[in-house]
Amino acid sequence: MKIQRIFMTSVTRTKRLNRKLFASICCGLFICCFSLLLLIEKSFTKNESMRRDAEACYGSLTKHKNEYEIRYLEDIMEAQKKPNAGNSIFFHETTCSRSGLVHLNSRQACAIESAAKLNPNRDIFVLFASPVGFREIDSNLPPNIKALKNYPNIHFRNNNVWKYAEGTPAEKWMQTGTLFESSYLFEHMSDVLRYVTLYKFGGVFMDLDIVVQKNLDYLGENFAGDDSVDAIGCGVLHFDNDKLGRQIADNCLRFMATHFNGKTFIDNGPLVITRTLEKLCKTTNRSLMTREQCDGFQVYPKNTFYAVSWKNWHWFFDPKMVNETLALTENSAIIHVWNDVSKKAKLRIGSHTAYEIAARKNCPKTYYSRINFEYF
């Protein structure tokens, strides 16, 4: 009997312990599930907040009644002056403008001026994703904007990103808001819009961190440039608007819509054109990506646009590297200065660097608009 009582007591205690353990497990599971729900709600709220901010920044015209009235730029799709299909040059400025005013830094202005100066036969369209304009009562434009206004082939336009994507393979994807959850929103928006532009109009797309050194006519149509071991560059692209180029732009947009990665910097620009051209050319060997191999598309060698790699970006701003850098870029149609890593590099006027020499020659009005300032 004593043994039986001990056994029963042990069983009772075990049951109590099991009940406590079960209760603890249930409580833990409840806390985990509740925490997970809170995280999901927080993430959803954050995403919704990001989308609302994007709508406010990119989707509507801002009123500044207490400060100034803005004469907003025409939208690219509504303006009477339209791009010459397959022949225009395009730049995209995708940062969020809180002021509603046109703003370009000196290096961006240099890129635009050099394109206009070296290619007077082409219209240059500078497209702002966040609606901007000029003050209605303020005629004192920034010096670099005044410099650009000297070129009749430069045109400033707004472009509503949602309306702009209409009628393209990116239309439905843009409506999902996935783009605005990106960790690199400005860069990835530029990646998307360059392919939308080339789909709609064809022509040349250029990043805003370049300097054009030659007229581009000798390059022909439908081209990109080799960049690094990892990818073909997408900082300079030409697609025609009705044949091969249009199909490549279509393929790029469809690839991006299904493979968009907002967490990795290069996945939505260089890797998109790289994978698309590898499929077209049926090779991963860039040296074989010729017009004969690629149905009329050409991948030019690195020295055409990207003679100095991103790892050596500082060469453009280092007086000690001026001779080596000039020798490397002497025959380049365009130099690319890698803004994502060089944007904080200060360029002192008169420092005799490769970038300053290129700017003084190819964007002289912008350069001399900064001559009374310490830095360019």
pLDDT tens for residues 127-185?
A: 999 999 998 766 778 999 999 999 999 999 999 999 999 999 999 999 999 999 999 99
Alpha-carbon distance of 360 to 376, in angstroms, equals: 11
> In percent, how much of the chain has pLDDT > 70?
82
∠ CA 166-265-98 to the nearest 5 degrees?
Answer: 60
Decide which of 41 and 250 is more confident.
Answer: 250
φ/ψ of residue 175, rounded to 5? -70, -15
**With 50 as the cut, is the pLDDT of residue 7 above it?**
no
Decide which of 47 and 192 is more confident.
Answer: 192
Rounded to an integer, the average pLDDT of 311-326 is 97
The predicted pLDDT at position 3 comes to 56
The predicted pLDDT at position 267 comes to 85
Unique residue bearing structure tokens 């100034």: 68
The model's confidence at residue 5, banded by pLDDT at 50, 70 and 90, is low
The predicted pLDDT at position 138 comes to 63
**With 90 as the cut, is the pLDDT of residue 1 above it?**
no
Q: Tokens standing for 75?
A: 């939208």
Global pTM?
A: 0.86
Closest C-alpha among 214, 234, 212 to residue 225: 234
Rounded to an integer, the average pLDDT of 32-44 is 53
Task: Give Cα separations from 219 to 6, 95, 148, 249 (angstroms).
Answer: 95, 30, 25, 19
State the chain's maximal CA–CA distance in angstroms.
109
Domain boundaries, the chain: 70-304, 310-369
Instruction: Dump pLDDT digits (tens) for 59-94.
Output: 766 555 545 688 999 999 999 999 999 999 999 999
Helix (H, G, I), strand (E, B) or coil at 146: helix
How many residues are given for the chain? 376
Burial class (CB in 10 A: 0-12, 13-18, 19+), 83: buried
- Spatial contact of 206 and 93, defined as CB atoms under 8 Å apart: no
Instruction: Dump pLDDT digits (tens) for 219-277.
Output: 999 999 999 888 999 999 999 998 999 999 999 999 999 999 999 888 898 999 999 99
Tell me the Ramachandran region of residue 157: left when phi exceeds 0, alpha when psi lies from -120 to 50, beta otherwise: beta
Task: Give Cα separations from 347 to 286, 337, 353, 357, 370 (angstroms).
Answer: 34, 12, 8, 11, 11
**With 70 as the cut, is the pLDDT of residue 44 above it?**
no
Closest C-alpha among 228, 238, 76, 213 to residue 158: 76
Instruction: Please provide the average confidence, as pLDDT, over all residues in the chain.
Output: 89
The predicted pLDDT at position 14 comes to 57
**How do strand 70-72 and strand 154-158 relate by DSSP bridges?**
unpaired
**With 50 as the cut, is the pLDDT of residue 49 above it?**
yes
Closest C-alpha among 233, 255, 214 to residue 307: 233
Check if CATH label 3.90.550 holds for domain 70-304: yes
